[in-house]
Amino acid sequence: MKQLTIIKIGGNVIDNSANLHQFLLDFTALPGDKILVHGGGKIATELGESLGIEAKMVDGRRITDIETLRIVTMVYAGLINKNMVAQLQAKGNNAIGLTGADGNIIKAKKRLVEEIDYGYVGDLDENSVSSATLDNLLKAGLTPVLSAITHDGDSQLLNTNADTIAAAVAVAMSTLYETRLVYCFEKKGVLKDVNDDNSVVREIKSGEFEGLKADGTVAGGMIPKLHNAFEAINKGVSTVYIGKADELNELAGGVFGTKMNP
C-alpha cells in the first residue's frame, strides 16, 4: 500500500506568518501523498470581536451560535484556507482547499444538547468521511487542504474540531493507504517535564497511556490529543506523531516528536 501522511496544524502556526511559511515549505518537501487539516487560530476571535461578536468558550471549546458560525466559516474556509492554498501553489504543491461540504467529503451530525448547548458544532462517526472522493483527488495529483467546517447533508454548515477531523480522515483513508497521522503544535512532543522542552518522550505504546495519565506525564490538553491518537491507531492508522511544527522536516528521519504505537 502507498503511504499517506495526514497533518493537522493549529493556531500556533497559522497565527505567525513566518512559522506558516516555513511549515508549508517543510510540508511540501515531504515525500508521497499528503493531506493538510487546519483549525483557525486567533483570527476568527479577533474578527468576531471587531464586529461586536464575543467568543464564548466552555472548557476551551468554542460555542458556535449562528453569528459565530458565519465568522468561522468566513475565516476557516475562506481567509485561512485560501491563503494556505495560494502559498502552497507558490511552493510547487498543487493544493485544493475544501470544506466538508465540497464533494460531500465530510458529513457530520449536529451535536446533541446535553449539559451544554454547543450550537452549530458537528460530531463525526465512522461513516462521515468520503475516502473515495479524497482518493480521487490524490490520484489527480492534488493535495487536499481541509478546513474545520463540515456539513450535515441537509444544507447546514457545522464547526468541527480539527483534531477530530484529522483522526477521522486518517482512519477512513487507512483502508486504501498506509496512513500516518501527524499532530503539529507548539511543543516538541509529549514531555516528561512540561518545563523542559528537551524532555521528549520519544515513543508511547497504547498500553502505557493510562499509566502516563495517572502519573501526570500526560495532563490537560494532551489527554484528548493522545486519546484521538490511540483511537486512530486502534482503528487502522499505522502510526501517529505529535510534535512541533517547525521540526516537521525531521519526520522523514523518524525522530519527530513523540511516536504513538499500538
Looking at residue 11, its pLDDT comes to 84
133-162 confidence digits (pLDDT tens): 999 999 999 999 999 999 999 999 999 999
> Does position 86 have pLDDT exceeding 80, yes or no?
yes
The enclosing H or E element of 129 equals: none
CA distance 73 to 195: 36
Paired with 119 in beta bridges are: 64
Rg over alpha carbons for the chain, rounded to the nearest Å, is: 18
202-240 confidence digits (pLDDT tens): 999 988 988 888 888 888 778 888 888 999 999 999 999
pTM of the predicted structure, to 2 decimals: 0.94
**Chain centroid offset of residue 197 CA:** 22
CA distance 225 to 129: 20
Q: What is the mean pLDDT of residues 92-113?
A: 97
> Does position 96 have pLDDT exceeding 90, yes or no?
yes
Looking at residue 91, its pLDDT comes to 97
Place of cell 500516518: 180
**Residues 14 and 76 sit within 8 Å (Cβ to Cβ):** no
Looking at residue 216, its pLDDT comes to 85
179-196 confidence digits (pLDDT tens): 999 999 888 999 988 889
CA distance 27 to 218: 27
How sure is the predictor about 261, in pLDDT bands with cuts at 50, 70 and 90? confident
How sure is the predictor about 132, in pLDDT bands with cuts at 50, 70 and 90? very high
Looking at residue 150, its pLDDT comes to 98
Residue 85 half-sphere exposure, CB side, CA atoms within 13 Å?
A: 18
38-73 confidence digits (pLDDT tens): 998 788 889 999 999 988 888 667 899 999 999 999
Q: Phi and psi at residue 123, in whole multiples of 5°? A: -110, 150
> Does position 4 have pLDDT exceeding 90, yes or no?
yes
How sure is the predictor about 262, in pLDDT bands with cuts at 50, 70 and 90? confident
Beta strands in the chain (DSSP E): 3-9, 33-38, 57-58, 61-62, 95-98, 109-110, 122-123, 143-146, 149-151, 157-159, 178-185, 203-205, 239-244, 258-261
Own/partner pairs, 253-258, CB within 8 angstroms, 24+ separation:
255/202, 256/182, 256/189, 257/188, 257/189, 257/190, 257/200, 258/189, 258/190, 258/200, 258/201, 258/202, 258/203, 258/204
Grid cell, residue 240, equals 501517529
